[in-house]
């Protein structure tokens, strides 16, 4: 194997210009894909962390039948006792930094001008400090202890109600007992949730205590849990599941990826773009390398025939050609890895920005995150593609007639 490897290596150096051209194509393709991958990577992680620390948390706990219901129904909810039992468990897990319960509800919001249907999210005021990445407040302020009757209303809903910050409204909803309950509230802020526009049209944020007055009970639809890091998710999830099982609570734990399905879809879409780019460049590499190897073996027809005449087996000749292609790819990928890393550093140091997305005036920072493991995977794909690109030329050599080969010049 060493002899074959040495021979293959030396053969790649025979036509340096030809090999170098192929190496350059591989290097450039690798850098392009690595940067693209680095951008997707940085976007994926930054967006993921924004969503986790802005709304979703790392984990969420639901009643096990929650997903079978209308998500504002009060049937499959977490009771106060269940919450307390789980809180006792969560307090003992060091990776859990913060947790809070939330309740969904719907009903009517009205004032002297109009009555409209609202969908509400009851939250603890402490969320402002912990889940602060997105500020949904367009005008006014977030829920606060100082204003127990304060609510936030979607800005479009507020327009329909002709209400602004400081105006009073009334909320009506079904209690858990079936009665219709109402509370007076003051608009202390207007909501603008870009990603979830239905909340602008119909949304109301209110304190958990206010929701309790409406539904006549202390209930939660789900609990949001923040951990010390994303990597802690599997461990904490399994710990909670074990404790839930032990305490026979009718609850399920979902991680961020299970809850934020649209995030995973968008990531999947980016990965799809990446795959398309990978395929396009892989085809380019296949053509380039196949061409290089074909030219090389055409020049060496007599050489291969001589080897076969001397008793070198077809599979050895096949392996030799495959190795030559793989070596070229290996040099390209090795150089590509180093240059891709340096390109990442260079791009990040330039502090480039991308144009702002629709509805925003802030330019997006262009940041690329070099992930060694993902780059090594990419390198492995390149080498595999190169090996495949060498298969056809290698096959053509072993099928070639020895005598004809011996008599070529």
DSSP string for residues in 57-108 = -SEEEEETTGGGS-TT-SSS-B-HHHHHHHHHHHTT-TTEEEEEEEEEEEEE
Residue 293 binding other proteins, by CB under 8 A: no
Distance of alpha carbon 352 from alpha carbon 38, whole angstroms: 14
Least distance in angstroms from the C-beta of 329 to other proteins: 19
312 binds other proteins (CB under 8 A): yes
Distance in angstroms (rounded) separating the CA atoms of residues 172 and 195:
27
* Site for other proteins contains 246 (CB under 8 A): no
**Positions 26 through 45 that interact with other proteins (CB under 8 A):** none
Q: Segment near other proteins (CB under 8 A), from 7-15, 148-156, 170-178, 246-254?
A: 7-15
Please, which residue, 18 or 147, has the CB nearer to other proteins? Answer: 18
Strand locations in 229-346, DSSP E? 251-255
Spell out the residues 6+ positions from residue 45 whose beta carbon is closer than 8 angstroms to its own: 369
Q: Does 15 bind other proteins (CB under 8 A)?
A: no
Please give the structure tokens belonging to residue 303. 């050489």
Q: Examine residue 1 and tell whether it contacts other proteins (CB under 8 A).
A: no
Q: Does 16 bind other proteins (CB under 8 A)?
A: no
Q: What is the DSSP string of 341-362?
A: HHHHHHHHHHT-EEPPPTT--S
Interface with other proteins (CB under 8 A), residue from 166, 178, 311, 355: 311
Using the contact rule CB under 8 A, the part of the chain among 3-11, 60-68, 209-217, 279-287 near other proteins is 3-11
Q: Verify binding: residue 2, other proteins, rule CB under 8 A.
A: no
With CA atoms as reference, report the closest residue to 200 among 140, 150, 171, 159.
159
- Does 247 sit near other proteins (CB under 8 A)? no
How far, CA to CA in Å, does 148 sit from each of 102, 119, 169, 188, 207?
17, 19, 14, 10, 7
Structure-token pair, residue 131: 């889940």
| Residues 71, 221 contacting (CB under 8 angstroms) | yes
> Site for other proteins (CB under 8 A): which residue of 44, 147, 302, 374?
302
Q: Which is nearer to other proteins, 310 or 372 (CB)?
A: 310
Question: Nearer to other proteins by C-beta: 10 or 376?
Answer: 10
403 binds other proteins (CB under 8 A): yes
* Inter-axis angle of helices 391-399 and 314-350, nearest 10: 160
CB nearer to other proteins: pick between 13 and 198: 13
Binding status of residue 295 toward other proteins by CB under 8 A = no
Q: Facing residues of 109 across strands?
A: 116, 171
- Closer Cβ to other proteins, 149 or 303, answer by number: 303
Please, what sign has the CA dihedral across residues 138, 144, 150, 154?
positive
Q: Does 195 bind other proteins (CB under 8 A)?
A: no
Question: Which of 16, 112, 14, 96 has its CA nearest to residue 60?
Answer: 96
Q: Which stretch binds other proteins (CB under 8 A): 153-161, 217-225, 362-370, 400-408?
A: 400-408
Please give the size of the binding site for other proteins, defined by CB under 8 A. 20
- The residue within the footprint of other proteins, chosen from 10, 198, 242, 295 (CB under 8 A), is 10
Tell me the sheet residues that pair with 206: 122, 151
Does residue 298 bind other proteins (CB under 8 A)?
Answer: no
Among 7, 32, 264, 391, binds other proteins (CB under 8 A): 7
C-alpha–C-alpha distance, residues 185 and 162, integer Å = 15
Three-state DSSP state, 127: helix
350 binds other proteins (CB under 8 A): no
DSSP 367: -
Q: Which is nearer to other proteins, 100 or 296 (CB)?
A: 296
Smallest distance, Å, CB 303 to other proteins? 6
303 binds other proteins (CB under 8 A): yes
Q: Which of 313, 342, 354, 357 binds other proteins (CB under 8 A)?
A: 313
Closer to other proteins by CB, 3 or 248: give it: 3
Binding status of residue 235 toward other proteins by CB under 8 A: no
- Applying CB under 8 A, the residues found at the interface with other proteins are 3, 7, 10-11, 13-14, 302-303, 306-313, 316, 402-403, 406
């Amino acid at each position: 194997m060493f002899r074959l490897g040495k021979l293959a290596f030396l053969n790649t150096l025979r036509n340096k210009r030809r090999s170098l051209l192929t190496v350059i194509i591989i290097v450039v393709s690798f850098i392009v894909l690595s940067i693209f991958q680095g951008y997707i990577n940085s976007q994926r992680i930054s967006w993921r962390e924004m969503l986790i620390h802005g709304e979703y948390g790392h984990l969420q706990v639901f009643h096990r039948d929650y997903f079978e219901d209308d998500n504002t129904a009060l049937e499959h909810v977490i009771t106060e006792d269940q919450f307390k039992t789980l809180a006792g468990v969560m307090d003992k897990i060091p990776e859990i930094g913060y947790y809070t319960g939330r309740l969904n509800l719907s009903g009517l919001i009205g004032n002297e001008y109009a009555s409209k249907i609202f969908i509400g999210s009851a939250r603890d005021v402490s969320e402002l400090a912990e889940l602060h990445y997105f500020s949904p407040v367009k005008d006014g302020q977030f829920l606060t202890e100082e204003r127990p009757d304060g609510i936030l209303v979607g800005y479009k809903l507020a327009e329909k109600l002709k209400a602004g910050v400081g105006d009073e409204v009334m909320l009506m909803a079904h209690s858990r007992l079936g009665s219709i309950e109402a509370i007076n509230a003051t608009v202390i802020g207007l909501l603008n949730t870009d990603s979830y526009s239905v909340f602008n049209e119909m949304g109301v944020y209110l304190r958990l205590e206010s929701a309790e007055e409406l539904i006549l009970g202390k209930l939660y639809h789900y609990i949001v849990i923040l951990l010390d890091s994303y990597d802690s998710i599997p461990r904490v999830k399994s710990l909670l599941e074990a404790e839930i099982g032990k305490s026979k609570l009718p609850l399920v734990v979902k991680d961020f990826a299970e809850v934020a399905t649209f995030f995973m879809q968008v990531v999947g879409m980016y990965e799809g773009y990446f795959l398309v780019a990978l395929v396009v460049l892989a085809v380019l590499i296949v053509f380039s390398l196949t061409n290089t190897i074909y030219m090389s073996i055409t020049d060496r027809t007599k050489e291969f025939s001589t080897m076969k005449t001397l008793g070198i087996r077809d599979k050895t000749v096949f392996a030799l050609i495959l190795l030559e292609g793989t070596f070229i790819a290996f040099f390209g990928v090795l150089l590509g890895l180093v240059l891709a890393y340096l390109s990442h550093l260079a791009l990040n140091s330039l502090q480039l920005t991308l144009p702002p997305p629709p509805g925003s005036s802030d330019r997006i920072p262009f940041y690329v995150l070099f992930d060694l493991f993902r780059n090594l995977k990419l390198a492995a794909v390149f080498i595999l593609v190169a090996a495949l690109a060498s298969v056809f030329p290698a096959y053509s050599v072993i099928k070639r007639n020895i005598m004809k080969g011996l008599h070529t010049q």
